Amino acid sequence: MKPLKIAALVGGVALGGLGVAMALTNPTQSAYEEYAVDKLTEYVKENVCQKAPFLQEGCASTVDAGRSDIQRIVQGSTQRQDFLLFSIYTTDVSVSRLLPAGFSAMLSGLPTYQFETVGVFQSFYTYKAKKK
């Protein structure tokens, strides 16, 4: 019986330590915003700039110059659910909000995307991305 109690105690301490580590390394909202801006700019460069020949020249530099605008969009469209050990971030991004005002007016009906990301151990994992 004694080895079973020792194993239970060691397991309990390890589980408690894991919980404390998760709580201490639960990433912040600003860390998520940086992650989301990096992922969105990477996506636009690889999928929009490369697939639209008329946009290729200067597209990547324009996207890089607009990072602060993209960050404001992410800030305004993200909800965080904090569960102490981890956080879930839900971000709704409208493509028209990523474009300059003149373009978005010409291209009505552009889709909105919803991303769900879990933040744990100072890392982010996007587990759902859907077009709305």
Name the one residue in this structure whose structure tokens are 């909105």.
Answer: 112
Sign of the dihedral through C-alpha 28, 33, 36, 37: negative
Cα–Cα distance measured from residue 43 to residue 35, given in angstroms and rounded to the nearest whole number: 12
More reliable by pLDDT, 9 or 121: 121
* Helix%, strand%, coil% for the chain, nearest 5: 60, 25, 20
Return the pLDDT at 96.
Answer: 64
Please state, for a pLDDT cut of 90, what percent of the chain lies above it: 34
Instruction: List CB contacts of 97: < 8 A, sequence separation 6 or more.
Output: 73, 77, 104
Cα–Cα distance measured from residue 76 to residue 127, given in angstroms and rounded to the nearest whole number: 21
Domain range list for the chain: 2-131
Residues 80-120: pLDDT tens digits?
Answer: 999 988 999 999 987 666 665 555 555 556 678 899 999 99
Picking from 65, 73, 80, 64, the residue whose alpha carbon sits closest to that of residue 113 is 73
Cα dist from 36 to 93, 123, 128, whole Å: 11, 12, 13
Cα–Cα distance measured from residue 29 to residue 24, given in angstroms and rounded to the nearest whole number: 14
* Residue 99 CA neighbour count, 13 Å, CB half: 18
Name the one residue in this structure whose structure tokens are 């589980």.
Answer: 15
For 100, the 3-state DSSP assignment is coil
pTM above 0.75, yes or no: yes
More reliable by pLDDT, 24 or 80: 80
Please state, for a pLDDT cut of 70, what percent of the chain lies above it: 82
